Structure 1
Amino acid sequence: MKRLRCVVFASSLKHGGRCIVAKDFDSKKWFRFVSDEKGSAIPYEKAMFYNELYKKSYPLIPLKVVSFPIDSESPILGQPENVILGDASINQVEPFVINDISSFLDNPDDLWGNGDCVPDKDVSTITQSIYLIKPENATLESEINAFDGKTKRYVSFKYNMIDYKLSCTDPKFDSLLKENFSVKALCISLGENFNGYHYKIVASVL
């Protein structure tokens, strides 16, 4: 089975599981790990990495360097980076963790245009659906949705002179909001088709 040494940049909340995105350590190519050809989430129990030193498994978190088992490539419309995660364990490998992400940053002109989503009819030409960017004036915000009473989590920021306010699925969001975290980078992912649109999502706050 093929393996990839990658830096994890997000293990975010997705439909009762996790959306795991990572960059190849050497080539800097993006991968989104899914559980099937439909792009389904990775179950919580599989979103773990094995530490050989301690002989234990731990939840995947950003900036860990791990070896992913790959079953097959499985791109879908709007998400060309999708690969199906293999059944073998995800293993932590050297250098174990990174602290300097500068060489992994992306520099797109914009985040798939303005606004918080892309119409399904416009995603056929998208060749990259994940970005790691350095935003300006990023702030974390939460508010209660008037229709369903649920808490909605957002990150507002500016990138290349464009203002964005995007939903955030980082599981650490609430704790980061409480500690007034200073945002250094954001991992942005384009979601699957939802009612004719692909929403831009902040998958992790770094």
Structure 2
Amino acid sequence: MAGVEDAMVTKLLVCLANSYKHGGRCVAGIDPETRTWFRPVSSRLGGEVYERDRQCPVGGEPRLLDRLSVMLSEHCPYEFQRENWLFEDHRLWMNMGRAGWDEACSLAQCPETLWLNGCDSDRGVNNCVPFAQKDEVRDSLKLIHLDEVGIKVSPRLDGWHRVRATFQYGGIEYTLPVTDSEFVERAQTSGTGEYGLGESLLTVSLTGKYKDNNLHKLVAGIVERSRQETGAT
């Protein structure tokens, strides 16, 4: 029997991730009232959200800090990804305006660390968690506030650019791939090299198991204070 948690519900989320995933997107946000993460997922094997699913009648593609009203039909956690909720097919997502920088900062969390550390993969630093330790993980999304972030843009064989974020959190160094769709698309025109961001909010996501038998940490959303204050798109 379905519990109260599984009842259909419409949630207002501050969008904090619109990230590339399996040919679709991973969209996630925080309910500003309960400060709870929600990741609307589809019934597809990977849960990815296609373009037709996520478009809003007003505003189109969800952007970070958009307020999204999404109808969710069932809580469907998968292992440590407890934030997953199945969204109701054929129900339009609604754009209810935008959150400001101060409100977004109020949603930032202060975790001691970004899950387990000490495991690196190629081009990364503290970017993995061994799959064998997945039972020590309790969630898959964190929003952190940083004073500065380094960005590295390097070429890939397919003509696109690889984008990584380097930063320090809790005295620990991290180098993580960036999958924020808008940020990655901007990086394609900026050219390769390294540059810095000022004060920013980062949504860090933990994936399922990769072929290397690790869970991987990704920067799924970047909100730069300077861009919000100037109204840059």
- Number of paired residues? 198
**C-alpha displacement at 1:25, in angstroms?**
2.0
In terms of mean alpha carbon deviation, does 148-157 or 73-82 score higher? 148-157
> What amino acid is aligned across from residue 207 of structure 2 in structure 1?
G
- Where 2:57 maps in the other structure, the secondary structure is strand
* Structure with greater helix percent: 2
Check if 1:188 corresponds to 2:199: no
Q: Could you give the per-residue CA deviations for residues 43-97 of structure 1, whole angstroms, max 9, x where no partner exists?
A: 122122233xxxxx5001110112111021111123111111112111123xx21
Q: For 2:153 and 2:80, locate their aligned partners in 1 and report how far apart those are by CA, in whole Å.
A: 27
Greater displacement, 180-189 / 27-36: 180-189
TM-score (norm 2): 0.78
Moved over 6 A (4+): none
- 1:170 has 2:208 as partner: no
CA distance in 2, matches of 1:43, 1:85: 12
2:73 aligned with 1:81, yes or no?
no
Alignment of 1:51-200 (within 5 A): 51=58, 58-87=60-89, 88-93=91-96, 96-99=97-100, 100=102, 101-114=104-117, 115-145=126-156, 151-174=161-184, 175=186, 178=190, 181-195=197-211, 196-200=213-217
Q: CA shift at 1:118, angstroms?
A: 0.8
Shift of 1:113: 2.5
Task: Extract unaligned runs of 5+ from structure 2.
Answer: 1-7, 118-125, 224-233
Q: TM-score, normalised by structure 1?
A: 0.87
1:4 correspondence with 2:11: yes
Q: Could you say which structure has the higher strand fraction?
A: 1
In structure 1, how many angstroms separate the alpha carbons of the residues matched to 2:35 and 2:54? 21
Which consecutive residues of structure 1, in runs of 5 or more, have no partner in the other structure? 52-56
Q: 1:150 to 1:22 in 2, by over 3 A?
A: same
> How far is 1:40 from its partner?
1.9
2:52 alignment partner, SS class: helix
Question: What does the per-residue CA deviation read over 1:90-147, in whole Å, with 9 as the maximum and x for residues that have no partner?
Answer: 1123xx211121210010001013210111121223222101101243111112357x
What RMSD, in angstroms, separates the aligned Cα atoms of the two structures?
2.1
SS of aligned partner of 1:36: coil
| Equivalent AA in structure 1 for residue 98 of structure 2 | V
Give yes or no for contact 2:148–2:197 (8 Å, CA) kept in 1: no
Name the CA distance, whole Å, in 1 between partners of 2:129 and 2:67. 31
2:220 is the alignment partner of 1:203: yes
Q: Which residue of 2 aligns with 1:44?
A: 51
Helix, strand or coil at the partner of 2:150 = strand
Choose 70-79 or 170-179, whichever is displaced more.
Answer: 170-179
